[in-house]
Structures are given as C-alpha cells and as structure tokens.
Amino acid sequence: MPKFIFRLLLALCLTLPSTVLAREKTSLNAAWLFHKGDVPAAIDPNFHSDGWQLVTLPHTYNASDAGAGGDKARGEEEGVYYRGPAWYRREVTIAPQPGKRYFLQFDGAALITDAWLNGKPVGHHDGGYATFRFDITDALTSGRNALAVKVDNTRVSHIAPLTGDFNVFGGLYRNVWLVSADDIHVDLMDHGGPGVYATTKAITNASADIHVKSLIRNDTAAATPVKVRTTILDASGKTVAQSTTTVTVAANTTLPAETNLSLKKPRLWAGRKDPYLYTVKIEAGSDTVTVPLGVRTFTIDVKNGVLLNGKPFAVYGANMQQPGRYGKGTAVSDAEIDEDMQIMDEMGVTALRLAHMQHHPRVYEEADRRGILISTEAPLVDFIDASDAFKANAVEQMQELIAQTYNNPSVVVWGLGNEIRSNDPDPNPVLAALQSAAKAMDSSRPTAYAHCCLDDDNPVALHSDIVSYNKYFGWYWGEFEDIGKWADEVHAKLPNRVIGVSEYGAGASIKHQEDLPKRTVPQAYWHPEQYQSAYHESNWKVLSARRYLWSNFIWVAFDFPSFRRNEGDRPAINDKGLVTEDRKTKKDAYYWYQANWSDKPMVHITSSRDTPKRVRKVTVKVYSNAATVRLRLNGKDIGSEPVVDHMATWKIELKDGDNVVEAVAGDVTDKVVWSYTDKLQ
C-alpha cells in the first residue's frame, strides 16, 4: 500500500471535530499496523512500519497458535504458544482544545502495556484483564499524532496470574478508545472505573435510600467550586430522584462529592424474575457520567443461606472462562459475548462464576440486563510469588475489578482467587491483602475463595467471608455419589462457615459416543459424551438436595483452549464445557440442566450423535421439564411415559436402516435419526 494512501487512511479513521462535547468517547479500533516481536525503534514517530500487518481491533496475536497442548501427567511438555512482545502503531489526527483532558482507554490488553505518543511515554500498565487509561494530554500536538503501543504477554513474576489451566492471549484483544473531558470532570483515573459509586443503603416498600459518591477531578491551576447534580432515572428515562451539592476542589486534586437520595416506591432488581434497572446520572460542571443502578439487597449467612431482597434464592449455574472463539481467541465481538450470555440464559442459570479474572465489560452489562447473578474474581490462580511487587499487583487488580464493576447489580460476590496449590511460598499474606482491599472498597458484598488441592480447612480457605470448593468426584477421583459425603463432612466440620461448590464437571467430546459408557480416564483420548451426562445427572441430584450449599457452579459453560492439556479428541482443549468451543453444539448435559432449570417448555433426546447404533434394542432417554413425554418410532406411537426427575426412558427395537425417533411434550418436540445394520445379515 503506498505510504501516502495509508497515511490518509489513518487520518480519516480518527479526525475529531474542532468543537467537541464536554465528554466524548471515540473508537480507536481501526487502522492499526501490527508486528509480532520486539521493535524498540517503533516508538519513533518517523519509524517506517513497512511490512507490518494492517489489523482492526479487537486483536490477539495468539489466535493461530492456541492449538498446542501437552500433559505433564503423561510426561509430555506443555504446549508452547507465543508469549512475548508485540507492537501496534497508528496515527490520530486531532486539534486539542484548551481546557480539556485527553485519555487513551484500553478495555483490556494482555499482559503488560506501554504506550508512546509522538515518541513520549504516556503510560504503563501491569495486568491483562481490566480497563485502564493513560492521560495523553501533555503529549498531544495539533494535527497528526503518532501512537505506538507495546503489549507483552510474557510470564513475569510480579503479575498475576502466574499460570493457570488456560491460555493468556496477548494483544489489544478488547476495544481501545480516545476519551476527552473538560479539565473539571468525574475522575477518569480511578482504577479504570467510572469514578462513581452508587450504593443501596436501605429498602422498604415505600422508599429506597441511595448513597452516591462521585469523585470530582480538578485539573486546573486553581481551586474551583463545582456544582454536582446527581439524578436517578427510571427505565423510561424519567427523573425519579435528584440532588445537587457544591464542592470546592483544590487545583490538580480529586475530591469525593457524596449525596443521599430517596427513591420512592422502588422497583427492585430481582434476578431473572425482574431485572429492573435505573440509571444514575452525574453532572459535574459540563461533564456527564452515567452508571447502572439495580436496587437490591444480597446477603449470605449460615442461618438463612442466600437471600436476594430478603427472600431465599438458589444460586446455580456455570463457570465461564473469558469469552472466546476458535480461530479468534479472546478477541471477540459484543455480538459473540451476547451469544454466550444468551446460551446460558436459555439454560436457565441464576448465576455465573467468571473464571478466573475480570471479564469484558459487556458480560457484566448483559448479566445486569438478564438478571443473572455474578461472582467475579481477581486473577490469583494456582501459585503466588512472595515478593511485595506481586502482592501489590494482585491488590491493584482487585481494586480495578471493584472500581469498574461496583455499580453492576448483577455482581454479588468478590472472589479472592482460585486453587492456590501450595503453602510454599506462603500465600496467606497475599490473600489477607486481597481481603482487606476488597472490604475497604466495598463492605456491602461478601468475598469468596475457590479452594482446592489443600486441606478443606487450610488457612488459605479462611480469609474470605465465604468459601467454595472445586470438587470433581467421579472424574479425577472417587465416585459420583462421593460429592454428597464430602459436602456433609465439611458442613459438619465447619458448621459456622458458609460453604459452596465453585467447580464440578467432566469432559466430553461430541465425537466420542459410548452408550452405556465405562468409567472415563481424564487424561485419555476417549471422552464419551454419555459419561459427562451421567456425571452431571448424578452430581446435580446430590448437590441440589444440600440446601446449605450457597452455590453450585458447573465447570464449565464452554470448551476453551488450554496449553496444559492433550486429552479427549484433540490437544489444547479443556472439553468440560456444556457447549463446544465454536458454540455450534450443545452437549447432552446442557439439556439436562435446561430441563432442571428452565421454565420454558423443552424436550431433548439424548445420544443423538450416537449413530450408527451397535445394537438393535436400545434405550431412549429423554430430558424434559414436562410432566409426561410421548415417543414415536418411525411414525408409530410408542406411548407416553411420566417424566421422573426430569427424565423419561423407553426401550425400543430398531429396524435396519434409518430410524426416526420423535419425543413430544406438549407443543415442543425433538427428533433424532439413528441408523442400524444387522452385521450378521
């Protein structure tokens, strides 16, 4: 591409008008030049990016090498994918306005990010999953500005996570924005958050007391009185509460402006039943910021269990790794995130645990809208480093998580971490620091920790307000029914501790069919879908009967890449998902939970992919939430059966050739075609 054409393209991609709004947010996703590898000279504004690749964000440089996996358990080397630096460059044409500040906003970049504007360093960030901003005002010039960003996903000892059963996709894998605001504005440098904290203090049928803290920033050279107007809008945009206060903010200082509002006859955010959302609008000078508000209470204790708005609430659902797609890694679109949330919504989840790090902002927004509760956690996984720098980074990532998702009513639990596997080096100081940081920023939500691999009452599991356990009875160890025995023993041992299950699951490949399945070996290359179904049928029956468990989260919603694995039907995949990595196929176990959890009428014939059949006489198993299901075989009515514990079965005899099996439950049907050939004929 000729250089003058490319420069014109870059200039057209972002040319801001000479007169802009008080706050403006402009996408910087287009027209980046990319190079994988380290090119320190790329910070030079006059650097020639000849041969660099033209890319559009979101973008990861690990989309094509995520298929390498290996299992240490069988003596293999773990999969190797590129973990190192890469560079992105583009130009921004702008006429900076006096009295304004300008910020680069990264919605997420892994794992270390440095940026230069016109050759000047404008920011550094350690951590791969939170939004962060750099103030670039002093480096901007009128006209064309050269922007260079270095991203590095190398494992370094002071940044969490140090490791995990997942890939770290490097790059600018979420959106990048240019944000402008007046010198007096709601703070844009508050751990990447909106600078607003809205808290429901008390609720009655007549009113709700809402406290709002707004961080007001004065980037002028003189102390300035700032009028701050706080407005609560209902879902139709009508003002339902408002207050105004004035604060005097010293030069180059941030000051909180706090106010209390009374919301009359509040409509509560009540999970899936009624996820009603208000909006809080802050006007500070000429700056305006909005955040969501869901009026609700959420409590957990040993005596009453989980209460949402004072009423018992069952927390069940799945874990979700970062949204991703085969061939794209974590560089996904809003539409793909919406698809993930829709699939979980249709399954009937009441909650999701977001593993093992902060997720894309869209996930939290969709959870708010759909009424799905969220447990979200800092990326402390498997191991820690004993340095003060590591602890400080873990705390900073927790603070970013809370600042950025505080106002999302779907978020009900802050997670301190997952599966610390060793007491050497001692992880307790890090966990204690995370607990302190979480409670200092938000005392209204409980903290949790997902425990595994050490004794159930190890001090590691005792820092958080509540604790959950990752247990895989019938997969990695033991038998299906052992999870009930274990839970009862822990409950008896820790009677004053709120406990839950944060992970349970089994692998499955839709390419592997075995009806009836034998016990599956996790590290084997054979993961029949039917074994996963049997696992979940048994485990859910046991877990759902134990009301003292605050949560039951399946591992995991979707298959996802992991360099640590070489099992099932291919390397580098954790296949415990209820849905395949490409989202095209829901495994049978997905429908088992849909039958248990969804109110929408459904019926599903299991083992649809198990064809040709190996025997003529087979058992048809159907999942449904109906009272009865009727079966037809090759157009002939076989009869109806009662649905017992969301399951009904028939014994049928197949004819040679194709056999059409249909299940009917009211107005819903499912159909499979099974072939059979008599080998003796």
The predicted-structure confidence for 632-653, as pLDDT tens digits, reads as follows 999 999 999 999 999 999 999 9
Of the listed ranges 2-16, 234-248, 430-444, the one predicted with least confidence: 2-16
User: What does DSSP assign to residue 474?
Assistant: T
Rounded CA gap, 229 and 196, in Å? 13
Q: Identify the CA nearest to 556 among candidates 516, 508, 523, 520.
A: 508
One domain for residues 327 and 430:
yes
Assess if residue 611 is contained within a domain: no
Assess if residue 188 is contained within a domain: no
pLDDT in tens, 187-207: 999 999 999 999 999 999 999
Assess if residue 187 is contained within a domain: no
Q: What is the per-residue pLDDT for 20?
A: 40
Confidence tier at 680 by pLDDT (50, 70, 90): low
CB atoms near residue 157 (< 10 Å): 12
Rounded CA gap, 25 and 89, in Å? 20
Residue 301 pLDDT more than 50?
yes
Task: Check which CATH number belongs to the domain holding 255 and give it.
Answer: 2.60.40.10
The answer to whether the bond into 491 is cis (omega within 30° of 0) is no
- Write out the E strands in 120-277: 120-126, 132-135, 143-152, 176-182, 184-186, 196-203, 207-218, 224-233, 239-249, 253-264
Confidence tier at 681 by pLDDT (50, 70, 90): low
Q: What is the per-residue pLDDT for 74?
A: 86
One domain for residues 400 and 284:
no
Rounded to an integer, the average pLDDT of 208-228 is 98
Q: Identify the CA nearest to 510 among candidates 558, 575, 563, 567.
A: 575
- Of 234, 265, 295, which residue constitutes the final position of a domain? 295
Residues 117, 119, 125, 128, Cα dihedral to 10° = 80
How many domains are contained in the chain? 4
Q: Which two tokens stand for residue 319?
A: 């874990």
- Of 599, 632, 653, which residue constitutes the final position of a domain? 599
Residue whose entry in the numeric block shows the structure tokens 């960030």 = 125
One domain for residues 89 and 7:
yes
Instruction: List, as one string, the DSSP characters of 278-332.
Output: EEEEEEETTEEEEEEE----EEEETTTEEEETTEE---EEEEEPSP-BTTTBT--
Confidence tier at 13 by pLDDT (50, 70, 90): very low
One domain for residues 160 and 147:
yes
One domain for residues 223 and 358:
no
One domain for residues 279 and 311:
no
Q: What is the per-residue pLDDT for 11?
A: 41
User: 65 lies in which domain range?
Assistant: 3-178
One domain for residues 319 and 290:
no
Assess if residue 190 is contained within a domain: no
Model-wide pTM > 0.75: yes
The radius of gyration computed from the CA coordinates of the chain, to the nearest angstrom, equals 27
Residue 36 pLDDT more than 60?
yes
Inter-residue contact 627 to 642 (CB < 8 Å):
yes
Instruction: List, as one string, the DSSP characters of 339-394.
Output: HHHHHHHHHT-SEEEE-SS---HHHHHHHHHHT-EEEEE---BS----SHHHHHHH
Beta bridge partners of 36: 86
pLDDT in tens, 150-175: 999 999 999 999 999 999 999 999 99
Percentage of residues in the chain with pLDDT exceeding 70?
97
Rounded CA gap, 467 and 416, in Å? 10
Inter-residue contact 107 to 29 (CB < 8 Å):
no
Assess if residue 43 is contained within a domain: yes
One domain for residues 382 and 453:
yes
Task: Look up residue 190 and give its amino acid.
Answer: D
Rounded to an integer, the average pLDDT of 527-532 is 98
- Of 132, 151, 178, which residue constitutes the final position of a domain? 178
Assess if residue 605 is contained within a domain: no
Task: Check which CATH number belongs to the domain holding 319 and give it.
Answer: 3.20.20.80
One domain for residues 543 and 443:
yes
Rounded CA gap, 210 and 52, in Å? 52
One domain for residues 257 and 386:
no
Assess if residue 543 is contained within a domain: yes
Q: Which two tokens stand for residue 235?
A: 């879902």
Assess if residue 610 is contained within a domain: no
One domain for residues 245 and 326:
no
One domain for residues 312 and 383:
yes
